[in-house]
Structure 1
Amino acid sequence: MFSVMRRKNRIIAAVLTLSLIGSVAGCGASSAEKQVDMVEAGSKGPETTGSGDYSVPNQIPSVLADQVGYKTDSVKTVILHGKKLPKTFSIKELGTKEEKYTGDVVKSVYNEETKEFTGIGYFTDLKEEGTYYACADIIGESYSFTVSEDVYANVFNEACKKYYINRCGMSLSEEYAGENAHSACHTTPAHLQEHPETEIDVTGGWHMDEQADRDTTVGCKVAENLLLAYEMNEAAFTDEAGIPESGNGIPDILDEVRYEVEWLLKMQDAKTGGEYGAALTDSSGGGDVMTYPVTVTPVSMDATINFASVLAKFSYIYQKYDGEFATTCLKAADRAWSCYFNNQKAQDNTTVFKAAAELYRATGNSGYGTVLEDYFVRTNFDQIFNTDENILIGSVTYLSTSQQVDVTRCEYLMKLLMKRSEDIAQKAGQSAYLVTKTDEKAFNELLDDMRCLTITDHIIYNHEYTTIIENHAHFLMGMNPGAVNYVTDATERTYADEAGVGILNDPQADALLVFMLSVLEKKGEE
């Protein structure tokens, strides 16, 4: 499960402390044959205690690589950092230690943030598939990595399949879920928090945390990002991800979103059209989390307008696969829209703009267009476009609609999108680590930036943008100051070593990762 196995649904990355020097070792041994403990270059070696025991400082490699690997035809980089950097680096084959590539260390600069020198090694010309490690005199070698055309395929599939693993209300077989298999959970009727005597069926949906809670607003946002990723890079998604619905002629990512949508429909109040806020488990009685009783929280206007938005988006995309169910979803979205406006105003929540764009695209109703125009004419629209994800996603939907639109308005939105993307590209280009943010607390912001760049890359393909997106994948999978793979736990140094949660175990971050990796998977098929 995303966080049923962890205590927090955010990424903990305590190791980005950047007090990293180098290793006295050169290119003499592969990372697989050496311990992580390294002695600082120029030091006197390990100190002895009074009892004669050695005390070796626990340090990490100063040659940083994506521990998952690199695509054969992509721009390939490693980052070197430390008090003193060499002028060259090498790539060696793991096992044989045969040198396969030698290059110069470029862009060596003093990094004020980390108080050290950093440099970049490019090895783009190495296209032979295999497993390697990077090394350099003075500072040692990196963890191992793979060069392969489909290097991210397994990570991408695992990221997509995390939602199946977190399905509530159905049994998961070993065939599809492996060690995560379990019997059906939370299948008994839930009770309304405001009216405990009222029972309600809210089986289904995705668990969102270690308590197996299910939140409608979070679920809507996760589903929205998965749907938008599918829209942007449809070729990346297959019907063979290894879930029960595989092979039914519908991309598995849409099958997965439908599972969540069916639960969201159960969470809609039949009388008002409003959306209940969450289905929370009650642990007060003790026992197994999978059998906790469930309480449904009151209707939330934030959940209601998010529900209207994502149900309209799903209806539009799913129409060609199941027209009847798509129509049911669109009607539910319209009811939620009406419920929201019976209680609040358009300016109370920018999700209204996004929902209006989705409903306008799905129906062409001019009433939704009027709400969009009310936002477009705001004097601060440029500002909120750059800071509010609802405005960004709503604008992208407006640009992609086949309904009647204002061409001048579309040109204006494209300029804003291009300007935002260029700012992201410039910021990444100025970074020693080739990314927009290096703070471990800002991974979701980094992933948000890559979502914007992925959208722009879809509309106007730009090889530079694809390279920047890849650099961010490299950063998250090991090419960062802590040399930590924050995505998977299958490489040499990962989030699990630092008691962290990992991106795949955070449902919102995982959806953004799927978004980012989808463009890399798609490009590989072109």
Structure 2
Amino acid sequence: MKQILLSLLIIPQVFIASGSRSGDIPAPSAFSMHAVPPVVRINQVGYLPGGVKVAVWGGPAGMTVDAFRLIDSSSGKAVFTATAGKAFGAYGPFGQSYRLNFSAFRTPGTYYIETPSARSPNFRIGPDVYKGAADFCLRYLRQQRCGFNPFLKDSCHTEDGYTLYGPMPDSTRINAIGGWHDASDYLQYSTTSANTVYHLLAAWRDFPRVFGDDHAATGLPGANGAPDVLDEARWGLDWLLKMHPQRDWLFNQIADDRDHRGMRLPKLDSFYGRGFERPVYFCSGEPQVQGVKYKKMNHSTGVASTAGKFASAFALGHSLLQRKDAAYAERLLERAHSAYKLGLEKPGVQQTASVMSPYIYAEDNWTDDMELAAAELYGVTRDAKYFREGRAYAAQEPVTPWLGKDTASHYQWYPFINPGHYELAKRSSGAARRELTGYYADGIEKVWAKAKDNAFYRGVPFIWCSNNLTAAFAIQCYWYGNLTADKRFAELAQANVDWLLGCNPWGTSMVYGLPAHGDTPVDPHSAFTHIGNYPIDGGLVDGPVYGSIYGSLIGIRLAEADEYAAFQSPLVVYHDDYGDYSTNEPTMDGTAVLIYLLALKENEGLTTEKATPRPAK
């Protein structure tokens, strides 16, 4: 459903949002300012004993907070008291706001924060507060599997697919079964899938202690001697190999925006006029259809944006799997080289295609993808040419372009983080390392310049999929700190984690079912929940959008009264409502990036657990 927003913004007659229903509550044309109550927002998952610990107080203009207390929930006694500090002023629905910092308190336990005007929900401090969180989010990816779906215990899209734009005759049949559905729609993109595979593999490489083995390779319950995160990554790798079946063939997507004509469970997908077959679009490196009615073509200029993502996923897969499955790993390495070669031969971007709408995933950058591919090939081969090429690509885009900006087109700068800088920097020293880490610092500073003056430390733009950007940016902050031992962005990084898990104006986690006891999405824009009443455990929803974007949408109808009405504002809105496809739809690639971030946080707790003081008896 991610493409539907852009079409509805400008061309409402193209289609109606599949979530809209006659008689539902219409989206407001303007924002009425409700009387906002004073509240204390927290990270509902909890806080690590040795980490940054901040809550945010927000309330009406004219109300102030001088001090706050941390209360032991079992005894009701205050265990920590501090001044509220700087008043940050108005933000979103709040006329006044404060950051309540209790980082100095390290004793594990269950607590709440109290001010004269508001009290937070209970929360935990402990080294294990993130335990199992990354594995929990893998549930969503298993549910998104295409081909055999272990959640439904049924198969779908088993006739994918027929080719378009390739060197072979159009409608040539190939086997492209597998992979993951992109979001609540059933499109499949090579770019988002390769990025998902990469983050899953990197999470297992960097934090192997946090992942369990409770499922087989099929996704069904039952241990198989491999961590579940690796099983999921291999599911994605298998599909990517089908999308790059020979050295000179590379495919970019399965299906198109005809998908958006209605909600249904995946095995009932027959929107393409050929039974259950779906189109498979070739990476031609040339413009492809972008809305037949509008006589537009996309602005594809090459294949490197897709080829680079394939090459990095394959190369990392090779390095991690060569001891477990040598033959498979060699096949991955062969395809890593061939994909990289295609990127060298056809530099530029391969944008996605659409049929009904003139709007697409309009990716505009590609050197970051080739940089990461070169970095991973250097890691495998130790051939210095790859390091030189990677560093040259890095210099062409030192800062991911959305960082510090107020807006961007949909998926214009993708992925939302550049792992290539990290992979090259950790394999270098001296001037090269300083240069690469300096690129990260420059990007973080651009965001910090926007974040430092509001209580939530928000510097991420509220464009569609703002939660994906938030998770990616937090990882960039952590990578920079890991490379340099510079901790000046630690509080900014944690603020972005906290935002995703409840420390935001609405006081809700943005992850379905995480934490189990918390306020989390329950009515996402998803056929699984809306039609099948199935939970989508672990799915990261798109997240808040600017009020100006939401106010211009056609086709949104809220199914229920807005429980967060008092906390909506002209700046930014979020609805836990099936009808709001702009803020409450889960995505596969955003969830994968979150899995890496949650694994990082769980590992941080494991690393510091022995040094944590135990509570007094």
- Which band: TM-score by shorter chain? 0.7 to 0.9
State how far apart, in whole Å, the 2-side matches of 1:199 and 1:116 are: 60
1:49 is matched with: none
1:513 is matched with: 594
State how far apart, in whole Å, the 1-side matches of 2:226 and 2:75 are: 46
Amino acid across the alignment from 2:204: Y
1:356 is matched with: 374
State how far apart, in whole Å, the 2-side matches of 1:248 and 1:332 are: 27
Q: Are residue 338 (structure 1) and residue 341 (structure 2) matched?
A: yes
In the TM superposition, what is the alpha-carbon distance from 1:207 to its structure 2 partner?
1.2
In the TM superposition, what is the alpha-carbon distance from 1:331 to its structure 2 partner?
0.7
2:512 is matched with: 488
Q: Are residue 250 (structure 1) and residue 226 (structure 2) matched?
A: yes
Counterpart selection for 2:148 from 170, 174, 191:
170
Counterpart selection for 1:183 from 129, 137, 154:
154
Q: Are residue 140 (structure 1) and residue 118 (structure 2) matched?
A: yes
In the TM superposition, what is the alpha-carbon distance from 1:7 to its structure 2 partner?
6.2
Q: Are residue 306 (structure 1) and residue 309 (structure 2) matched?
A: yes
State how far apart, in whole Å, the 2-side matches of 1:154 and 1:504 are: 23
1:103 is matched with: 81
1:198 is matched with: 172
1:129 is matched with: 109
**Which structure would you say has the larger Rg?**
1
Question: Are the counterparts in 2 of residues 133 and 142 from structure 1 also a CA contact under 8 Å?
Answer: yes
State how far apart, in whole Å, the 2-side matches of 1:407 and 1:389 are: 29
1:24-423 equivalences in 2 (<5 Å): 59=36, 61-82=38-59, 83=61, 84-92=63-71, 98-101=76-79, 103-114=81-92, 116-124=95-103, 125=105, 127-130=107-110, 132-137=111-116, 139-172=117-150, 180-193=151-164, 195=169, 197-240=171-214, 243-244=219-220, 247-270=223-246, 273-280=248-255, 288-292=265-269, 293-300=276-283, 301=303, 302-344=305-347, 349-350=366-367, 351-365=369-383, 368-369=386-387, 371-372=389-390, 374-375=392-393, 382=398, 392-401=418-427, 408-418=431-441, 420-421=443-444
State how far apart, in whole Å, the 1-side matches of 2:58 and 2:31 are: 10
Runs of 4+ in 1 over 6 A off after TM superposition: 17-20, 284-287, 345-348, 388-391, 501-504
Question: How does the TM-score come out when normalised to structure 2?
Answer: 0.65
Question: Are the counterparts in 2 of residues 246 and 252 from structure 1 also a CA contact under 8 Å?
Answer: no
2:604 is matched with: 523
Question: Are the counterparts in 1 of residues 107 and 125 from structure 2 also a CA contact under 8 Å?
Answer: yes
In the TM superposition, what is the alpha-carbon distance from 1:383 to its structure 2 partner?
5.0
Q: Structure 1 pair 382/147, CA: closer, same or farther in 2 (3 Å)?
A: closer
Amino acid across the alignment from 2:176: V
Question: Are the counterparts in 1 of residues 310 and 336 from structure 2 also a CA contact under 8 Å?
Answer: yes
State how far apart, in whole Å, the 2-side matches of 1:437 and 1:214 are: 27
1:469 is matched with: 493
Unaligned runs of 5+ in 2: 4-16, 20-26, 270-275, 284-302, 350-363, 404-412, 523-562, 564-574, 608-617
SS in structure 2 at match of 1:219: helix
State how far apart, in whole Å, the 2-side matches of 1:88 and 1:188 are: 63
State how far apart, in whole Å, the 2-side matches of 1:348 and 1:460 are: 27
Identity %: 20
Q: Structure 1 pair 219/457, CA: closer, same or farther in 2 (3 Å)?
A: same
May I ask how many residue pairs the two structures share in their alignment? Answer: 466
More off after superposition, 312-321 vs 285-294: 285-294
Offset from partner CA, 1:479-526 (integer Å, 9 cap, x none): 112222222344554344622677892222222222222221111111
In the TM superposition, what is the alpha-carbon distance from 1:187 to its structure 2 partner?
2.3
State how far apart, in whole Å, the 1-side matches of 2:58 and 2:138 are: 34
State how far apart, in whole Å, the 2-side matches of 1:462 and 1:235 are: 25
